[in-house]
Copies of this chain bind each other. A is one copy, B any other.
Amino acid sequence: MAGHRVTLKDIAKSVGLSMATVSRALADHPDISGETKDRVREAAQAMSYIPNYRARYLRAKHSRLIALIVPEMNMFFVPSMITGINRVVQQNDYSLIVFQSDNSIVQERRLAEYCTHLSADGVLLVLSSETADLQHLEVLHEFGIPVVLLDRTIDTTKYTTITIDDEDAGREAATYLMDRGHDCILGIFGDQRQRISALRQKGFRRAHAERGVPLAETQVLSVTIVDELEGLLERAFAAHPHLTAVFTMTDDLLVHTHYLLARRGVRIPEDVSLLSISDGEAPSFLHPNVTHIRHSGIEVGERTAHILIGMIEHNSDAMMDVRIRTTLVELGSVTVRRRQPPRRGGRAAPPERA
């Protein structure tokens, strides 16, 4: 077994035709007679011929390989994003090859270069947290390999990017809570060096400014490592005992915040309302189900893959900046508060349910 892989040449020999004819017969080329095609196909079948795509694509100068580089395999968002990408990629007869940069710019550069070695037809990139500029993607550009940035990006006029409107999502979150009577909201954000965090925070702040609701610096948390969250939360609650709502920027922050609140004995939504940006998974298994601004990983993945494949197949390098629409999903974690009368100190008034 496995002694020798059957090649076109073997088939050619067996049916007494040239390799060229066999190749064309298998490709259903009009130049070949039906009778011959049948004979060839039969032989191929009988010898269980398997074409070698690498040989084929070597000539064709493409690979039908799409590379995805993610900073890490986070359990949130990334899996559903990959699901979406995979769906479209497979539908279009490409294969997805997955790399992890481990949030290292060095790795990211190395991987980008590696994509050229493999002659990937296109690259999907979720930027590492270390990435501050896009110089290292020049290689790809030089080789004419289209690149699409998604989810975590930085400002660029050169590469197509797919994101949600992060600033607007942050703004919508704060507005939603303020509309329901919350005027002291704690916002929990990721590392501010990342554009996604900065934008969501910016929107959050803007909403406060627009409503003229004061926002203390201690109401805005920037969490670099999730282990820090406990201490930060502690301090925030100490500084703002009348806190009535918490907004988390991602699922990751959501589940940990939810946990820490539960541990402190804080009841949701009776004591504190909770709102997040999420792809909807975590909110469904957290109690109570968490109201969130839905950011579908699958949709992001699908859209992105479509766009990349479009670029590949139409050889287009027009730069786009696509925003995925978010939708608000109202579940049970936010309560409506009556606008508070001037407080006389002590604990916040008991909330009332929505």
Q: Which residue of B lies closest to A61 (CB)?
A: B5
Minimum CB–CB distance for A208 against chain B, Å = 28
Contacts of A75 in B (CB 8 A): 75-76, 79-80, 281
In the bound complex, do residue A50 and residue B117 qualify as a contact, i.e. CB atoms below 8 Å apart?
Answer: yes
**A interface residues, how many (CB within 8 angstroms):** 55
Counting every copy of the chain, the complex holds 2
- Of B73, B95, B258, B286, the residue contacting A82 (CB under 8 A) is B73
In the bound complex, do residue B5 and residue A50 qualify as a contact, i.e. CB atoms below 8 Å apart?
Answer: no
A52-B117, A80-B73, A96-B98 known; A258 and B281 CB under 8 Å?
no
Contacts of A281 in B (CB 8 A): 75
Minimum CB–CB distance for A86 against chain B, Å = 5
For residue A259, CB closer than 8 A to chain B, the reply is yes
- Of B50, B83, B119, B285, the residue contacting A116 (CB under 8 A) is B50
Q: Which residue of B lies closest to A100 (CB)?
A: B86
For residue A72, CB closer than 8 A to chain B, the reply is yes
A97-B95, A287-B262 known; A117 and B79 CB under 8 Å?
no
Q: A residues 262-292 with Cβ under 8 Å of B?
A: 262-263, 281, 284-288
Please, could you name 6 A-B residue pairs with CB atoms under 8 Å apart, sorted by A? Answer: A54-B63, A75-B76, A90-B100, A95-B97, A97-B97, A258-B285
